[in-house]
Amino acid sequence: MEIILKVFIMFILSIALTRFMGKSSIVQLTPYDLIAIITLGTIAAEPLISTKVMPSIISLIALVFFYVIFAKLTLNQKMNKLLLGEPTILIKAGKIVEDNLEKEHISLIQLLAILRNNGYSKLSEVNYAILEPTGNISIIPVSSARPVTLADLNIKAEDEGIPIALIIDGIVQKKNLRLVNKNQKWLKDKLEEEGIKDIRKVIYAFVESMDDQLYLSLR
């Protein structure tokens, strides 16, 4: 029973601290993000081996404290360059920059696979491929290879807004209702228009921010 309690405590604490570290620690995965997450997991697992929980909790809090300091430091341009590095050009004007591939330890096979995964089978279709400090490779195609947009066709597109969820799994999202300047009475009336009296039957309902139409997905 004690080991189960330890697992529960460290699991909840790890989630809470990861949330405190911010979404960038999950999405960007910069070098210090990666080290912080690995170290956090290692420290969180320590009480499962030893009998002491409090030293691990203190270590976790200290880790997050240092992580936040490093995150603040990267807001400074010079520190950002020092901690994260700079973008590296891997392809320039359709030509592979071989020295940069070797410098970043990326094989030609890896690079070509990444290009194909992004829909570019020919080097001639790529103007620039840039390895970002976060580890992602940004691909900038030549004009003739990029997807056609409405602007290319001289077609003016109206702003459709974004979908705003009002009901998720039968639960009203009150904050989102206020966001679109609606109230629960309006939502109830809309549901009744569709013959729905029990909100629990609605898995998902949303409106577009520029529209009053309610879109429903029922169980």
Report the distance separating Cα 87 and Cα 138, nearest Å: 10
Q: Please indicate, yes or no, if residue 56 is contained in any of the structural domains.
A: yes
Final residue of a structural domain among 81, 98, 129: 81
As for how many domains the chain has, the answer is 3
Final residue of a structural domain among 41, 57, 81: 81
Q: Quick one: pLDDT at residue 116?
A: 93
Q: Please indicate, yes or no, if residue 151 is contained in any of the structural domains.
A: no
> What are the pLDDT digits (tens) for 31-73?
667 777 777 777 777 776 666 778 778 888 888 888 888 778 8
Q: Quick one: pLDDT at residue 30?
A: 67
**Is the pTM for the entire model greater than 0.75?**
no
User: Which residues pair with residue 139 across a beta bridge?
Assistant: 129
Which is more confident, 92 or 77? 92
Shared domain for 10 and 66, answered yes or no, is yes
Q: Please indicate, yes or no, if residue 122 is contained in any of the structural domains.
A: yes
Shared domain for 118 and 171, answered yes or no, is no
Q: Please indicate, yes or no, if residue 20 is contained in any of the structural domains.
A: yes
Look at residue 79 and tell me whether its pLDDT is greater than 70: yes
Look at residue 137 and tell me whether its pLDDT is greater than 60: yes
Shared domain for 21 and 55, answered yes or no, is yes
Look at residue 100 and tell me whether its pLDDT is greater than 70: yes
List, as one string, the DSSP characters of 3-18.
Answer: HHHHHHHHHHHHHHHH
Shared domain for 73 and 101, answered yes or no, is no
Tell me which H or E stretch contains 127: strand 126-131
> What are the pLDDT digits (tens) for 12-21?
777 677 677 6
> What are the pLDDT digits (tens) for 158-200?
766 788 899 999 999 999 998 888 899 999 999 999 889 888 8
**CATH number of the domain that residue 94 is part of:** 3.30.240.20
Shared domain for 121 and 183, answered yes or no, is no
Look at residue 27 and tell me whether its pLDDT is greater than 60: no
Shared domain for 63 and 102, answered yes or no, is no
List, as one string, the DSSP characters of 162-217.
Answer: -EEEEEETTEE-HHHHHHTT--HHHHHHHHHHTT---GGGEEEEEEETT---EEEE
Q: Please indicate, yes or no, if residue 13 is contained in any of the structural domains.
A: yes
Shared domain for 64 and 120, answered yes or no, is no
Enter the tokens of residue 6.
Answer: 């330890």
Enter the tokens of residue 174.
Answer: 């009150």
Shared domain for 36 and 57, answered yes or no, is yes
Shared domain for 42 and 94, answered yes or no, is no
Q: Please indicate, yes or no, if residue 156 is contained in any of the structural domains.
A: no
Compute the average pLDDT of residues 138-155.
82
Report the distance separating Cα 181 and Cα 194, nearest Å: 21
Q: Quick one: pLDDT at residue 69?
A: 83
User: Structural domain of residue 130, as residue ranges?
Assistant: 88-145
Q: Please indicate, yes or no, if residue 57 is contained in any of the structural domains.
A: yes
Q: Please indicate, yes or no, if residue 153 is contained in any of the structural domains.
A: no
Q: Quick one: pLDDT at residue 22?
A: 62
Give the position of tokens 């459709």: 160
User: Which residues pair with residue 128 across a beta bridge?
Assistant: 92, 140
